[in-house]
Amino acid sequence: MWRTTPLHRREEDGAPGEDNALPLPDAVDRDEIQGADDGVGPLFHRRYAARVREPRLSPEELMGRLTRNLNEVAPTEFAVFQKVRGAEDTLRVGDEYVVRMPGPWDGPVRVVEVTPRSFRLATLAGHLEAGQIEFRAAPAPDGLRFEIESWARSGDRLSNLLYHRLRMAKEIQFHMWTSFLERVAKTSGGRLTGGIDVHTRRVEGDGGGA
């Protein structure tokens, strides 16, 4: 498939402390959570961002629609969110999904934070990655801004080989989240403007995983 959305990719060195994942809220069940320190290889702090002009939905309305059905904006050719814990038509802290992807990429995640304009997921044992990812919408002068921000290492050494060395999983992930942003813009009723910015900060050093 040909992509017509301009993509602006930038990569730079990160730094320990500056690029750490957000702390988990105190009330979150930590059982089976696979944090970045449990992973292996470099830590990747990545932000995908897009501006949407003249949306028909406010940031709160957009997030409300997404959290009722993540598959409305998920690029189902890359990933399907299958809910395995929690009510089907809402998203609350403690809910769990398995993200079904082609090949051996299925990834279990848990909702660890929800606000009117955002939600955050943490990876669980068995996921390709170890870390967190946050989805958020915010007002912008000409509409709204939507961002996907992640802090993650590879879940194990095989995953690190596929992602960091062979780059297979990295490209699948890249196309998944850029497609997600394109669909968010369409769902909002607005127009994606200025393309999609992808900013990666890489922190060298191994995690604590086996």
* H or E element in which residue 68 lies: helix 59-68
Q: What is the pLDDT of residue 200?
A: 95
| Number of domains, the chain | 1
d(CA 45, CA 175) in angstroms, rounded, equals 17
Residue 1 lies in a domain: no
Residue 25 lies in a domain: no
Whole-prediction pTM value? 0.91
pLDDT along the chain (210 residues), means of 10: 78 93 92 92 94 97 96 89 94 95 79 98 91 97 96 71 57 86 97 95 72
Identify each DSSP E strand in 28-176 by its residue range: 40-53, 80-85, 96-100, 107-115, 118-123, 129-140, 143-154
Residue 27 lies in a domain: no
Give the gyration radius of the chain's Cα atoms: 16
Work out the angle at residue 100's Cα, subtended by the Cα atoms of residues 170 and 104, and round it to the nearest 5 degrees.
60
Residue 161 lies in a domain: yes
Q: What is the pLDDT of residue 156?
A: 61
Residue 81: give the domain boundaries. Answer: 7-14+35-203
- CATH number of the domain encompassing residue 160: 3.30.530.20
Residue 30 lies in a domain: no
Q: What is the pLDDT of residue 3?
A: 59
Q: What is the pLDDT of residue 31?
A: 95
Residue 210 lies in a domain: no
Q: What is the pLDDT of residue 172?
A: 74
Structure tokens at 46: 């990545």
